[in-house]
Copies of this chain bind each other. A is one copy, B any other.
Amino acid sequence: MTTRIVLGSASAARAAILERAGIPFTQVPADIDEAALVTEISKPRVQAQALATAKAHAVADRLMTEQRVTEATYILAADSVFELEGQPFGKPHRPQIARERWRNQRGKTGTLHTGHCVIAMLAGQSQRVLQETVSATVTFANVSDAVIDDYVATGEPLGVAGGFTLEGYGATMVSAVNGDPNAVLGLSLRAVRELLERLDVRLTQLWDTHE
């Protein structure tokens, strides 16, 4: 029987991590009311995990309803929340917000929390649900106002949690990470590999070097 990995997320960054790692997958976006869920949970670390788990369940429900599950399927969902000085931060969306946040966060250290959830679907039913939250600290370089303006002008910070990323333009703005850098990018493949191992699936066996 073949093994099917479903990424329950619309995130291009997460899809890119799986693609670069040579993992075959299909992408099914989860349709959940993030705002409603987040307002009930105050701790950023718990928020990230709750969002990831809600997304995985939403995708599992959708696949079951559509009766699309005929082979062993593992739904993988993840969500990230950035925490600075005890507060959760999502995407800044607007240039002015991104600029203000960067003027506050330069030179400081925050924590990026990424919740991971894997749901194993066998014989068309959800059989097991596994979770892991991976947190990593991120230390920002003490950049000048001019560099912040240059970065905001690229548009990159507007669409990412905390207004930064480790690759792309953001590589110039971050001085250190303590933890799994792929979790900071949106998906810890170390965590995914270990969650699947607990379900007796060897992720690395899906690499096409085995075919």
Of B150, B172, B189, the contact of A209 (CB 8 Å cutoff): B150
Docked pose: A167 CA to B20 CA in angstroms? 7
Chain B residue at minimum C-beta to C-beta distance from A136: B176
Most B Cβ at <10 Å: residue of A22, A172, A180, A182: A172
Q: Does A158 contact B (CB under 8 A)?
A: no
Instruction: Judge whether A204 and B171 touch: CB under 8 Å.
Output: no
Residues of A in contact with B, size category? 35 or more
Please, what's the 1-or-0 string for A166-204, where 1 marks a CB less than 8 Å from any CB in chain B? 111101111111111110100001101110000000111
Chain B residue at minimum C-beta to C-beta distance from A179: B176
Docked pose: A166 CA to B190 CA in angstroms? 11
**What are the residues of chain B within 8 A of A173 when measuring CB–CB?**
190
Instruction: Judge whether B204 and A189 touch: CB under 8 Å.
Output: no
Docked pose: A169 CA to B205 CA in angstroms? 12
Q: Does A146 contact B (CB under 8 A)?
A: yes
